[in-house]
Amino acid sequence: MDAFLTKQGVITDKESRWRLIEALSRDLTEAAEKLARNAGGDYSPDKYAERFPPWEGPDVKPTTDHTISGLAQAWFDAAIARGVRQRGAKRFRSVVLQFKDDIGHDDLRRVTPAVVQRWGNDRSAAGKDSKTINDTDFAALRAVFAWGKRAGWLDTNPAEGARIEGRGKTRVRERHFSDAEAAALLRSALATTGTRREDPKTTAAKRWVPWLCAYSGARVMEMIQVRKQDVREDAGGWVIRLTPEAGGIKTDEFRDVPVHQHLIELGFLDFVKGSQPGHLFCSVGKDGTVVGSSEGIYSRIRKAVREVVTDPNVQPNHAWRYTFKTRGVEAGIEEIKLDAICGHAALTQGRRYSGVTLKARMEAMAKFPRYEVDPSGTSTQSEIVSSSSSTIY
Angle between helices 200-214 and 291-308 (to 10 degrees): 70
Share of the chain above pLDDT 70, in %: 85
Question: Is residue 8 pLDDT above 60, yes or no?
Answer: no
What is each CA distance from 258 to 164, 249, 252, 386, 389, in whole angstroms? Answer: 42, 18, 19, 18, 19
Question: Is residue 386 pLDDT above 60, yes or no?
Answer: no
Strands 237-242 and 231-234: antiparallel
Question: Is residue 317 pLDDT above 80, yes or no?
Answer: yes
- The H or E element containing residue 179 is helix 179-190
Q: With DSSP H G I counted as helix, E B as strand and the rest as coil, what are the percentages for the chain, rounded to 5?
A: 55, 5, 40
Question: Is residue 233 pLDDT above 70, yes or no?
Answer: yes
Question: Is residue 51 pLDDT above 70, yes or no?
Answer: yes
Integer Cα distance of 87 and 329 in angstroms: 31
Contacts of 19 (CB under 8 A, 6+ apart): none
Question: Is residue 95 pLDDT above 90, yes or no?
Answer: yes
pLDDT tens, residue by residue, 246-298: 998 888 899 999 999 999 999 999 999 999 999 999 999 998 889 889 999 99
- pLDDT, average across residues 239-250: 92
Under the banding of pLDDT at 50, 70 and 90, the label for residue 104 is: very high
Q: 38-70 burial, b for 16+ CB within 10 Å, e for fewer?
A: eeeeeeeeeeeeeeeeeeeeeeeebeeebbbbb
Q: Would you list the DSSP string of 259-276?
A: PPHHHHHHTHHHHHHTSP
Under the banding of pLDDT at 50, 70 and 90, the label for residue 235 is: confident
Predicted confidence at residue 84, as pLDDT, reads: 82
Contact status, residue 160 vs residue 138, Cβ threshold 8 Å: no
Integer Cα distance of 236 and 362 in angstroms: 9
Of the listed ranges 64-68, 101-105, 198-202, 264-268, the one predicted with least confidence: 64-68
Contacts of 156-161 with C-beta under 8 Å, sequence gap 24+, read 158/111, 158/112, 158/113, 158/115, 158/116, 159/113, 159/116, 160/113, 161/113
pLDDT tens, residue by residue, 129-163: 898 999 999 999 999 999 999 999 999 999 999 99
Predicted confidence at residue 390, as pLDDT, reads: 31
- The pTM score is 0.69
- pLDDT, average across residues 329-351: 83
pLDDT tens, residue by residue, 164-208: 987 666 778 899 999 999 999 999 999 998 888 999 999 999 999
Under the banding of pLDDT at 50, 70 and 90, the label for residue 354 is: low
Question: Is residue 237 pLDDT above 80, yes or no?
Answer: yes
Closest CA to 140 of 162, 125, 124: 162
* The CATH number of the domain covering residues in 64-150: 1.10.150
Within the chain, which residue ranges are assigned CATH 1.10.443.10?
A: 179-385
- pLDDT, average across residues 318-336: 95
pLDDT tens, residue by residue, 19-42: 777 777 777 777 778 788 788 888
Integer Cα distance of 108 and 186 in angstroms: 49
Under the banding of pLDDT at 50, 70 and 90, the label for residue 85 is: confident
Question: Is residue 316 pLDDT above 90, yes or no?
Answer: no
Predicted confidence at residue 18, as pLDDT, reads: 72
Q: Would you list the DSSP string of 58-113?
A: ------GGGBHHHHHHHHHHHHHHTT--HHHHHHHHHHHHHHHHHHT--BGGG--H
Question: Is residue 54 pLDDT above 90, yes or no?
Answer: no
Under the banding of pLDDT at 50, 70 and 90, the label for residue 378 is: very low
Within the chain, which residue ranges are assigned CATH 1.10.150?
A: 64-150
Is the domain spanning 179-385 CATH 2.60.40.10? The answer is no
